[in-house]
Amino acid sequence: MTELISADKARELVSKAIPGREEAEADTLANAALTWAMKNAEGQTASRIITYAKYGKTDLTVKFAPGESDHGGEGNAFYNDLLANSNVRVADAIADIIYGRDQNVLSTIQEMRLLNFYNARLVKFVKDLKRMGYSVDSGTASSATHGYIHKDDSTILVSWVKE
């Protein structure tokens, strides 16, 4: 069984809670959500490369950010990972941060932490792919002509074809 706390323990935590700390709750949820979404996107890329290559494919697309219009509980796979590990307000706030829009859910310090984490992790992932011999492009690049996927600035194209 999943490691859940007892209802008594949950009630005890509620009794010790400090009112008016909604921003702290959102900050904590945002950190967990973004960490999970990045880890999931990286892991899915690794497993999809193996599967796609096994069946003769030479490239794939990955969503590494919410779509620019993802909000209100609806969005791409990355946004849905944010949502699954937080709530609509937090997922929307993270999307706003990534796209440089104002948000009023997360603290300023958490906003900076998330943006630094996101940028560093994404840059490292792209550099790792390139170091391993993959070609990496953004979904808005002129060479982005991949199948049925909605290509936008949240899409990364990964290819393992020698050019």
- Mean pLDDT across the stretch 138-150? 54
Q: Sketch the domain layout of the chain as residue ranges.
A: 21-159
As a whole number of angstroms, the distance between CA 115 and CA 109 comes to: 10
Backbone angles phi, psi at 43, to 5 degrees: -65, -40
pLDDT digits (tens, 9 = 90+) for 20-58: 766 688 999 999 999 999 999 999 999 999 999 999 999
Q: What is the tens place of the pLDDT at every residue in 49-67? A: 999 999 999 998 888 899 8
Q: Dump the DSSP string for 47-108.
A: HHHHHHHHTT--EEEEE-S--TT-BTTB--HHHHHHHHTS-HHHHHHHHHHHTT---SSS-H
Beta bridge partners of 74: 71
